[in-house]
């Protein structure tokens, strides 16, 4: 099984890297040997780097894939200690954020070899706000409630605001998980203001600059990298139409409607839609003002179309998950809405980690 997956990966990878068939054959033979001896094989840095890029290219839910070749790959496979792993993630936050000029980056830790030889990150993303159910109601991000509870059971305490950054929780080699507070000075946050509606700032909203998904498993040639946090930059709607707008997240539409003086008594006034658009205008405007990379959904869709064209030129099958690719605001204004996509999972790819 592993040998077949390795072989399949090496063939494609080496061909795309313009290596000779002979080189691929030799490498496959070496891997098979390694597998016989250790039951395992190790990727070269080049294979790891290109494999991670391919995994991004194959990420059916991602609209940002035009930039897959620019992914910066950081190899941290030699780290064993939880603390070292946490420090590598702090470095990732700084390198990926790059003072606002965000660089798509992945940090790859050692792959899982057994139940006593692995690294796991518990966080959904390296940066995320805590959520608390209090007697006075919800505080923070409701999506974080279970994870926040876990952190508190481990002894972590937040400040009790709507925007407490959660600690990073690392588990290594079957030992007790450990938590690490993220140094405040490495986290860039953007206060949300609106270009014309002054009262927006009174909502006291902010969001962190860099989405760094950390709960997925990166699979390359049958090897399972269970800890491989990666980031791109935000598409505005992720924050403006989901994180702030979902009723099960910050649920801000009623408050936005209120500062805009909209008639919220009748759904047919389309107050939700009007509030949603201005909230998204505010997110895009604020990130730009703060010098933090962000893309609007129209530009992102146009970039995705370019990606589709490039893949066609290379005669590669395009895969995609329509339900994720369409933006949550004005989906039918993008070409994506009017097409079908094949949602097959091609390897290398990112998968949910087994709990």
By CB under 6 A, how many residues form the interface with ligand ARG?
A: 8
C-beta of 125: minimal distance to ligand ARG in Å? 5
C-beta of 233: minimal distance to ligand ARG in Å? 6
| Whole-angstrom distance, CA of residue 351 vs CA of residue 216 | 6
| Whole-angstrom distance, CA of residue 189 vs CA of residue 272 | 26
Q: Does 327 bind ligand ARG (CB under 6 A)?
A: no
Between helices 2-16 and 21-38, what is the axis angle to 10°?
150
| Smaller CB separation from ligand ARG, 187 or 213 | 213
Q: Does 234 bind ligand ARG (CB under 6 A)?
A: yes
Q: Does 232 bind ligand ARG (CB under 6 A)?
A: yes
Look-up of token digits 């290219």: 57
| Smaller CB separation from ligand ARG, 14 or 234 | 234
| Smaller CB separation from ligand ARG, 7 or 59 | 59
Q: Does 131 bind ligand ARG (CB under 6 A)?
A: no
Between helices 2-16 and 45-57, what is the axis angle to 10°?
90
Instruction: Answer yes or no: are the C-beta atoms of 151 and 167 closer than 8 Å.
Output: yes
Q: Does 243 bind ligand ARG (CB under 6 A)?
A: yes
Q: Does 235 bind ligand ARG (CB under 6 A)?
A: yes
C-beta of 261: minimal distance to ligand ARG in Å? 29
| Smaller CB separation from ligand ARG, 106 or 203 | 106
Q: Does 213 bind ligand ARG (CB under 6 A)?
A: yes
Among 211, 222, 236, 327, the residue binding ligand ARG under the rule CB under 6 A is 211
| Whole-angstrom distance, CA of residue 136 vs CA of residue 198 | 28
Adjacent-strand bridge partners of 117: 114
Instruction: Answer yes or no: are the C-beta atoms of 171 and 182 closer than 8 Å.
Output: no
| Smaller CB separation from ligand ARG, 260 or 302 | 302
Among 84, 162, 189, 238, the residue binding ligand ARG under the rule CB under 6 A is 238
Backbone region of residue 140 per phi and psi (left: phi > 0; alpha: psi in -120 to 50; beta: other values):
left
| Smaller CB separation from ligand ARG, 245 or 275 | 245
C-beta of 234: minimal distance to ligand ARG in Å? 5
CB atoms within 10 A of CB 219: 22
Instruction: Answer yes or no: are the C-beta atoms of 230 and 56 closer than 8 Å.
Output: yes
Q: Quote the strand ranges of 173-221, DSSP E.
A: 178-180, 189-191, 206-208, 212-213, 216-220
Q: Does 125 bind ligand ARG (CB under 6 A)?
A: yes
Q: Which stretch binds ligand ARG (CB under 6 A): 21-29, 157-165, 177-185, 235-243?
A: 235-243
| Smaller CB separation from ligand ARG, 10 or 168 | 168
Q: Is the bond leading into 348 cis (omega within 30 degrees of zero)? A: yes
C-beta of 64: minimal distance to ligand ARG in Å? 6
Look up 62 and say whether it is catalytic: yes
Q: What is the 3-state secondary structure (H, E, C) of 256-301?
A: HHHHHCCCCCCHHHCHHHHHHHHHHHHHHHHHHHCCCCEECHHHHH
The per-residue DSSP string of 49-106 comes to: HHHHHHHHHT-TT-S-GGGGGG-EEEEETT--SHHHHHHHHHHHHHHHHGGGS---EE
Q: Which stretch binds ligand ARG (CB under 6 A): 25-33, 230-238, 306-314, 330-338?
A: 230-238
What amino acid positions are annotated as catalytic residues?
A: 62, 65, 233, 238
Task: By CB under 6 A, name the binding residues for ligand ARG.
Answer: 125, 211, 213, 232, 234-235, 238, 243
């Amino acid at each position: 099984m592993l040998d077949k997956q390795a072989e399949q990966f090496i063939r494609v990878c080496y061909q795309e890297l313009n290596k000779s068939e002979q080189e691929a054959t030799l490498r496959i033979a070496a891997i098979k040997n390694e597998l016989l001896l250790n039951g395992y094989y190790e990727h070269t840095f080049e294979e790891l780097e290109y494999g991670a890029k391919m995994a991004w290219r194959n990420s059916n839910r991602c609209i940002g894939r035009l930039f897959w070749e620019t992914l910066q790959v950081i190899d941290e496979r030699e780290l064993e200690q939880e603390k070292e792993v946490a420090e590598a993630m702090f470095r990732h936050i700084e390198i990926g954020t790059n003072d606002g000029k965000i660089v798509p980056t992945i940090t790859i830790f050692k792959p899982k070899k057994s139940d006593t030889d692995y690294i796991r990150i518990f966080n959904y993303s390296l940066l995320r706000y805590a959520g608390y159910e209090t007697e006075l109601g919800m505080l923070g991000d409701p999506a974080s409630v279970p994870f926040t509870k876990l952190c508190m059971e481990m002894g972590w305490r937040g400040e009790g605001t709507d925007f407490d950054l959660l600690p990073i929780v690392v588990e290594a080699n079957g030992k007790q998980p450990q938590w690490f507070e993220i140094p405040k000075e490495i986290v860039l946050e953007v206060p949300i203001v609106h270009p014309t509606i002054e009262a927006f700032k009174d909502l006291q909203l902010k969001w962190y600059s860099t989405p760094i998904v950390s709960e997925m498993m990166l699979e390359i040639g049958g090897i399972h990298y269970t800890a491989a946090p990666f980031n791109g930059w935000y598409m505005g709607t992720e924050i403006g139409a989901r994180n702030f707008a979902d009723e099960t997240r910050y649920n801000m539409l009623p408050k936005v409607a209120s500062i805009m003086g909209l008639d919220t008594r009748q759904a047919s006034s389309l107050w939700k839609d009007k509030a949603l658009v201005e909230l998204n205008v505010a997110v895009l405007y604020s990130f730009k003002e703060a010098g933090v990379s962000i893309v609007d959904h129209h530009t992102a869709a146009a970039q995705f179309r370019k990606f589709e064209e490039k893949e066609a030129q290379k005669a590669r099958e395009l895969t995609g998950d329509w339900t994720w690719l369409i933006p949550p605001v004005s989906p039918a204004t993008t070409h994506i809405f009017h097409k079908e996509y094949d949602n097959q999972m091609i390897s290398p790819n990112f998968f949910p980690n087994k709990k």
